[in-house]
Amino acid sequence: MPMIDLTLPEDALDERARHDLLDELTRALLRWEGVGEGNPMGDAVTWGVVHPVAPGDWHVAHAPAPADQPRYRVLVTVPEGALDDPKKEGLVAELTRKVLEAEGSPIDLANALRVWVFVNEVPDGHWGGAGRIFRLRDIAKMVMGDAEAVLEDTAKRLEQPVGA
* Mean pLDDT, rounded, for 27-56: 88
Closest CA to 154 of 127, 138, 132, 128: 132
In a domain, 104, yes or no: yes
Residues 6+ apart with CB under 8 A from 15: none
Q: Measured on CA atoms in the order 95, 19, 131, 31, is the torsion positive or negative?
A: negative
Q: What is the pLDDT of residue 154?
A: 67
Q: Which residues pair with 142 in a beta bridge?
A: none
Report the C-alpha gap between 97 and 92 in whole angstroms: 9
* Mean pLDDT, rounded, for 94-110: 97
* Mean pLDDT, rounded, for 130-144: 79
pLDDT higher at 153 or 110: 110
Q: Residues of the chain with pLDDT > 70: what percent?
A: 96
Would the pLDDT of 18 be above 90?
A: yes
Q: Which domain holds residue 43?
A: 3-126
72-99 pLDDT, tens digit each: 999 999 999 999 999 999 999 999 999 9
- Total domains, the chain: 1
* Mean pLDDT, rounded, for 111-133: 91
Task: Give the pLDDT band (50/70/90) at residue 129.
Answer: confident
In a domain, 53, yes or no: yes
Report the C-alpha gap between 33 and 19 in whole angstroms: 21
Q: Contact, 83 vs 91, CB < 8 A?
A: yes
In a domain, 159, yes or no: no
Report the C-alpha gap between 68 and 55 in whole angstroms: 11
- Which CATH number fits the domain that encloses residue 65? 3.30.429.10
In a domain, 73, yes or no: yes
In a domain, 65, yes or no: yes
For residue 105, give the amino acid letter.
S
Q: Which SS3 state, helix, strand or coil, does residue 4 take? A: strand
Task: Tell me the average pLDDT of the chain.
Answer: 88
